[in-house]
Structure 1
Amino acid sequence: MPEHPQHLPDRVDVLVVGAGFGGLAALHRLVTDHPDLEILAIERAAEAGGVWRENDYPGAACDVPTSLYSLSFAPNPDWSHSYGRQHEIRDYLIGVADELGDRIRYNCALQDAEWDAAQALWIVTTEHGVIRCRFLVTAPGALSAPGVPDLPGASDFGGTVFHSAQWEHGHDLTGRRVAIVGSGASAVQIVPEIVDHVEHLTVFQRTPAWVVPRLDRTIGRTERTVYRRLPAAHRLIRALVYLYREFYVILMARRPRLLPIATAIGKAQLMTQVRNRSLRRRLTPDYTIGCKRMLLTNKWFPALQKRNVTLTGAIAELTSEGAVDSDGRTHEVDTVVFATGFTPTAPPIAGHLRGRTGDTLADTWAGSPSAYRGVSVHGFPNLFFLYGPNTNLGHSSIVLMLEPQARYASTVIRHLRDRGLDTVEVTAQAQQAYNANLDRELGGTVWNTGGCASWYFDAKGRNSVMWPTFTGAYRRMMSTFVADDHRLGRVPAHADDASQVIR
């Protein structure tokens, strides 16, 4: 590979987009399995890290145990806590990327990608030129595009506005009157961190969330030393935590009638930490626990009861004086922080990928993403979409889904090479059948039946985000390639680059 960090070759065999968990998993797997191929990754930012680079707001941390939050080929025995902090996870991913050397081009965003059927390759336009590739592996992450509500009066507001994933560190919150819009996973981490520094904090809550204790602990030096010197002990802990987290699937997807166990835990924490009955009612959800993402925190309820905090309803508009809630009350604020999550059912990259018919992936999905096994889409040959539709988890680490996806892409490429083939495209029938089965399985889960409105549902009302069962089932499925579900082909004999087809 060229040494200059921004130099792009004219063509490679495989191009990976993104250097978060998914992109790094794919790059490592492909380089390991296909050392003779030209494989390159591009990353829009100046360093690796994905969502853990972008989300550096106060208190940012993971709600999945660190035992499960590392790539299998790069175990980390040095986590400081049982739930990882943002800076540690970012540094971990940067370290993994460094091990891959000069196979990653940074500050090189994908701008457009188009399938050329005549040459059977992808033509990818980036910030630093055009690169052609046989196979395109996109790993943009599901939580990469901030979701900001379009509020009336936004142009009239004279203060500072930003999203939690675009935190303005140069904007000191000390002594300010701050609005936090949202009461989800980001808000419950931010509020306890800033509440003692601001003059007043107004929390705009549309819907209360189920909160359960975060059983976090410091991992001492002795324990970390044991993990470094005895990797088997580290693997054993990972296996035990994995089995424990898989049990959650039984509650959420297989036996939702057992969810009162989790409800009791949530209610006990609320009862213990919030003595005021009126406030407790406002913080009690009216839907089944697990329907939305459960929040792990011990600090949220105490923070809301500080003297300088106001908990109010959903935000309705902004004015020159501040922010107006759903009851029409104006709250004087000078800073608005949107802790409003992301847009996983409308990934921005989908608008920049043009398939066999010339339509973009966004056009093809038309507001309702679907894919075969979460990675392949009819009409888009030789494309693998990591962390695609219906591969998100409600119980465990997404790393456990990303690595099988990376291995699957490698397996498909190996299948083609062994048979002298060049193109692969899932059939419409196979994709439809796969998703019909998914919808049936999701139908009985708490995500579909729990009575809440969540970001799991797309514009057409389909749950196009969640995986409905155990991660082991997904891993087993992804260990095989079903050729009959695909159209396989060769580069036309007249193609200009026929002599360069990979084998």
Structure 2
Amino acid sequence: MAHSVVIIGSGFGGIGMAIRLRRAGIRDVVILEKAAGLGGTWRDNTYPGAACDIPSHLYSFSFERKADWSRRFPPQPEILEYLRHCARKHGVLEKIRFGTEVTEARFDEDAALWRISTTSGELAARVLVPACGQLNRPALPPIEGRASFAGPSFHSARWDHGIDLRGRRVAVVGTGASAIQIVPEIARDAAEVRLFQRTAPYVIDKPDRPYRGWEKAVLAHVPGVYELSRARVYAAYESRALGFVKFPRLLALTERRFKKALRDGVGDPVLRDALIPRHPMGCKRILLSSDYYPTLARPDVDLVTDPITAVTPSGIRTAEREYGVDVIVYATGFRATEFLSPMKIVGRGGRELNEAWRGGAQAHLGITVSGFPNLFLLYGPYTNLGHNSIIYMLESQFRYVLGCVEALRRAGLGWIDVRPDAQEAFTREMRDRLRSTVWNAGCRSWYMTADGEVVSNWPGFTFAYRRATRRPDPRHFRARPAAAR
């Protein structure tokens, strides 16, 4: 017996998609989760200081508001509990099969079914929805001798909470979004922290604070206040898209905030100079922190800008010297552009998705891939953001996927497959538009493939994406009736 829909992953994408399907009356839904608990990136990233850089009222589902967030920017434990609450409340929790990793999904064209192989057995589905996200596979740097280190070492997304950092010498490799949260937290306990920086990021102040009791009461009980707060945050963040995709000069105000944060936080001119990025603002992700720069100015925190040449059993070596350390934390990001790896996805005619994406991931609207019928990606290529909430993008995708599922049922179709010309036209448009964005301004980032192609980001307003995905266009698809053999 084939299921109506199988979803892979139980983060915001998987949980939200299952809720929307259930509310539409589609209850034969299974979520496959390789871990022992739900939550996706918010389950995996439990490092000290882990929090979101999008305000809480916007980093949540529009259909499940939460008026009692503790802070303006939600911390990791609270986000994870919010997702658990959503799954419980909407009857999705019992749909999840934990400890079930998908190894292969193969489309059976005759039966119009996805045959799915997992570590817990086989199953089939009419519709397959991978909701694996872009930030789920940690990237460890190819540094010589990395495995030779005698002390504890781990990636920030696999934090070892059994290691006590008090009184120890800790090295943090990387200066991305995780590192700027980790360093201020661990510096409180460690004997010394050495931060190994390859590229200085732009860091601006984070206007975070706890919500007061009366504010939570107003948000919960006064009609329209919560919605107004959400709309205000959305408008403020959405306006930044112009600076990223069209008019980089509009980022000048943000650059002034960066310069002020650096000037106020770091008094030493030599250190301050080392923390000035050499790439245009916005080319890499702009980071939020009010305590990162003051922490780097402490005498027990050392910024190392010399490139790492090797890891040794007792520390980290650069061309200049070797630094003895007790613990190494790799805050080196994720393999964001590999999307569904290492799963093997096989579509029509035995074509593998990895082969189809050899020149870079492609998907019409970031959702459908030609040659892979009834496969709908969430948070696929060209749907990441540099300026607003990914939850808004996911909700646009939920509606589009639901429209496809309902079209299959309503028209009695066995499968639908996006036309190659529709996918190619969309990909050409994305590449043309991305060339003029700040993400192509000369730096390397996790938005890019190894060949330097930006394949992660949406080059425009999120409301434009919502309009583009408001309903599936039948002209973009070819279909086969369910009865045909």
Q: TM-score scaled to structure 1, two decimals? A: 0.93
State the AA in 2 paired with 1:60: A
Q: C-alpha distance in 2, partners of 1:11/1:51? A: 29
- Asked if 1:480 corresponds to 2:471, the answer is yes
Q: C-alpha distance in 2, partners of 1:371/1:204? A: 36
* Alpha-carbon contact 2:102-2:343 (below 8 Å) kept: no
- The 5-angstrom pairing of residues 11-30 of structure 1 reads 11-30=2-21
1:400 alignment partner in structure 2: 392
1:500 alignment partner in structure 2: none
Q: C-alpha distance in 2, partners of 1:300/1:457? A: 26
- The 5-angstrom pairing of residues 40-439 of structure 1 reads 40-101=30-91, 102-313=94-305, 314-325=307-318, 327-349=319-341, 351-366=343-358, 368-439=360-431
2:458 alignment partner in structure 1: 467
Q: What is the deviation of 1:367?
A: 5.4
State the AA in 2 paired with 1:69: Y
Q: C-alpha distance in 2, partners of 1:359/1:203? A: 44
CA pair 120-213 structure 1, distance change in 2 beyond 3 A: same
Q: What is the deviation of 1:287?
A: 1.2
Q: C-alpha distance in 2, partners of 1:22/1:210? A: 29
Cα deviation, 1:307-343, whole Å, max 9, x if unaligned, reads 1122112322101231013x34210012110000111
Q: What is the deviation of 1:231?
A: 4.8
SS in 2 for 1:259: helix
SS in 1 for 2:233: helix
Q: C-alpha distance in 2, partners of 1:447/1:88? A: 31
Q: C-alpha distance in 1, partners of 2:354/2:342? A: 5
Unaligned runs of 5+ in 2: none
Aligned residues: 482
Q: C-alpha distance in 1, partners of 2:49/2:359? A: 33
Q: C-alpha distance in 2, partners of 1:404/1:348? A: 20
Q: C-alpha distance in 2, partners of 1:443/1:155? A: 39
Q: C-alpha distance in 2, partners of 1:486/1:387? A: 20
Q: C-alpha distance in 1, partners of 2:320/2:446? A: 26
SS in 2 for 1:63: coil
State the AA in 1 paired with 2:229: I
SS in 2 for 1:61: coil
* Alpha-carbon contact 1:14-1:133 (below 8 Å) kept: yes
2:481 alignment partner in structure 1: 490
Q: C-alpha distance in 2, partners of 1:286/1:400? A: 32
Q: Which moved more, 1:199-208 or 1:105-114?
A: 105-114
Q: What is the deviation of 1:492?
A: 5.5
Cα deviation, 1:444-474, whole Å, max 9, x if unaligned, reads 111112x311111112221001101111000
SS in 1 for 2:74: strand
Which residue of 22, 25, 31 maps to 2:22?
31
SS in 1 for 2:413: coil
Cα deviation, 1:472-501, whole Å, max 9, x if unaligned, reads 00001101211111111124545xxxxxxx
- Runs (4+) of structure 1 exceeding 6 A deviation are none
- Asked if 1:455 corresponds to 2:419, the answer is no
State the AA in 2 paired with 1:44: K
Q: C-alpha distance in 1, partners of 2:221/2:70? A: 17
SS in 1 for 2:360: coil
Q: What is the deviation of 1:348?
A: 4.5
SS in 2 for 1:124: strand
* Alpha-carbon contact 2:102-2:118 (below 8 Å) kept: yes
Cα deviation, 1:70-91, whole Å, max 9, x if unaligned, reads 1111111111111000000000
Q: C-alpha distance in 1, partners of 2:295/2:254? A: 23
Q: C-alpha distance in 2, partners of 1:252/1:156? A: 42
State the AA in 1 paired with 2:453: R
Q: What is the deviation of 1:128?
A: 2.0
* Alpha-carbon contact 1:421-1:489 (below 8 Å) kept: yes
Q: What is the deviation of 1:62?
A: 0.3
State the AA in 2 paired with 1:93: L
1:6 alignment partner in structure 2: none
Q: C-alpha distance in 1, partners of 2:12/2:100? A: 18
* Alpha-carbon contact 2:173-2:330 (below 8 Å) kept: yes
Q: What is the deviation of 1:18?
A: 1.1
* Alpha-carbon contact 1:367-1:458 (below 8 Å) kept: no
State the AA in 2 paired with 1:343: R
Q: C-alpha distance in 2, partners of 1:190/1:493? A: 57
* Alpha-carbon contact 1:66-1:81 (below 8 Å) kept: yes
State the AA in 2 paired with 1:105: R
CA pair 55-447 structure 1, distance change in 2 beyond 3 A: same
